[in-house]
Amino acid sequence: MTRTTEQPWPPLPTEAPERHADAPAAGTDLPSHYAHCFGCGERIEQGLHLRTTACEGVAIRSTFTVTAAHQGAPGLAHGGLLACAFDEALGAAVANLLRRPAVTAKLETEFVRPVPVGTTLHIDAHLDGVAGRKVYVSAEGRLGGEDGDVAVRARALFVQVKLTHFLEHGRPEDLRKIAADPSLLNRRAVELNP
């Protein structure tokens, strides 16, 4: 079986991603983009509670601590939730560094080592290339620290979208909740009307 990482990446010619002039400075802790996001939201008790910091260049670093609520096999993280953690970290890289809203079109994950409950996964995500609205981004997750063994690799295609994407497709009652309490959404993450 061919491993994901043996296939060319990005899969087509791209331009080098350019960090937006207003992207958060390296070392800045990035707030959750939405309080009810399963990946980073503070209002989801059993969510992943990813924490993300901007790095130099076109990179970010996230941490995710696996809890008993995230099990697949006894004492081990569920692979789907690990994929979710990477979706979140990759999306945070795209949105915060390019400052444009984008959604995941394709996400590939490679599970290299089991991730036990109680482990903190350190996820380094970096933008790899841009082709029109398409943004190619990849990440590695290490066990226990930035020098730990790689447990998961992921790469994804994000497609930049307009604000209308969320307004047209989002459930009206959730959009109304944001209108009533704008603090649920971090509007500074991206330029909503570039």
Ligand X SMILES: CCCCCCCC/C=C\CCCCCCCC(=O)SCCNC(=O)CCNC(=O)[C@H](O)C(C)(C)COP(=O)(O)OP(=O)(O)OC[C@H]1O[C@@H](n2cnc3c(N)ncnc32)[C@H](O)[C@@H]1OP(=O)(O)O
Contact positions vs ligand X (CB under 6 A): 33, 39, 87-88, 91-92, 95, 101, 103-106, 132-134, 157, 159, 161, 163, 166, 178, 185, 189-190
Which residue, 77 or 92, has its beta carbon nearer to ligand X?
Answer: 92
Burial (CB count <10 Å: 0-12, 13-18, 19+), residue 4:
middle
Residue with the CB atom nearest ligand X in the bound state: 91
Which residue, 86 or 115, has its beta carbon nearer to ligand X?
Answer: 86
Measuring CA to CA, how many Å separate 70 from each of 40, 77, 82? Answer: 14, 6, 9
Q: For residues 56 and 177, what is the distance between their CA atoms, to the nearest angstrom?
A: 35
At its nearest, how many Å lie between ligand X and the CB of residue 30?
Answer: 9
Distant-in-sequence, close-in-space partners of 102: CB < 8 Å, separation ≥ 6 = 91, 94, 95, 135, 158, 159, 160, 161
At its nearest, how many Å lie between ligand X and the CB of residue 161?
Answer: 5
134-143 vs 150-160, strand pairing mode: antiparallel
Which residue, 81 or 157, has its beta carbon nearer to ligand X?
Answer: 157
Concatenate the DSSP letters of all residues of 92-130 into one string: HHHHHHH-S-EEEEEEEEEE-S--BTTPEEEEEEEEEEE
At its nearest, how many Å lie between ligand X and the CB of residue 166?
Answer: 4
Which residue, 87 or 124, has its beta carbon nearer to ligand X?
Answer: 87
Which residue, 75 or 167, has its beta carbon nearer to ligand X?
Answer: 167
Q: For residue 189, give the nearest of 27, 40, 17, 30 by alpha carbon.
A: 30
Residue 176 dihedral angles phi and psi, to the nearest 5°:
-65, -35
Which residue, 111 or 166, has its beta carbon nearer to ligand X?
Answer: 166
At its nearest, how many Å lie between ligand X and the CB of residue 163?
Answer: 6
At its nearest, how many Å lie between ligand X and the CB of residue 11?
Answer: 8
At its nearest, how many Å lie between ligand X and the CB of residue 64?
Answer: 13
